[in-house]
Amino acid sequence: MTTINHIRIDEVNERLPDDSILLIDVRNLDAYQAGHLTGAIHLNKNELDSFAGKTDKSQAIIFYCYHGISCHAVAQYFADQGFTNIYSMDGGFEAWRLQYPVARAENTPE
């Protein structure tokens, strides 16, 4: 079984300039639109199989949710699918937004 790596928000912030890392937001769509990490992709549970099927299993992926708990289960799902370079962001979006800027969907009021 592949080990899921935990990553702190400060480590994510340091790695963000790396375009080869995928950031995956697994919160609900309304929460994503209200604010998310810059460059993050929203992924809901109905899209997991499709996304996993078209993504390189060696791709570096950082998953995050509200508090860093439910994204661990999604990361485990990807580990079970054979992905080898996956991370679960400790503290989730709520910890991130307290220290770093967030992006908003273009049609979402501030």
> Which residues participate in catalysis according to the annotation?
65
Give the Cα separation of 27 and 31 in Å (integer): 6
Please write down the long-range contacts of 70-79, taking CB distance under 8 Å and 24 or more positions apart.
70/26, 71/24, 71/26, 72/4, 74/24, 74/26, 74/43, 74/45, 74/48, 75/4, 76/4, 77/48, 77/52, 78/52, 79/1, 79/2, 79/3, 79/4
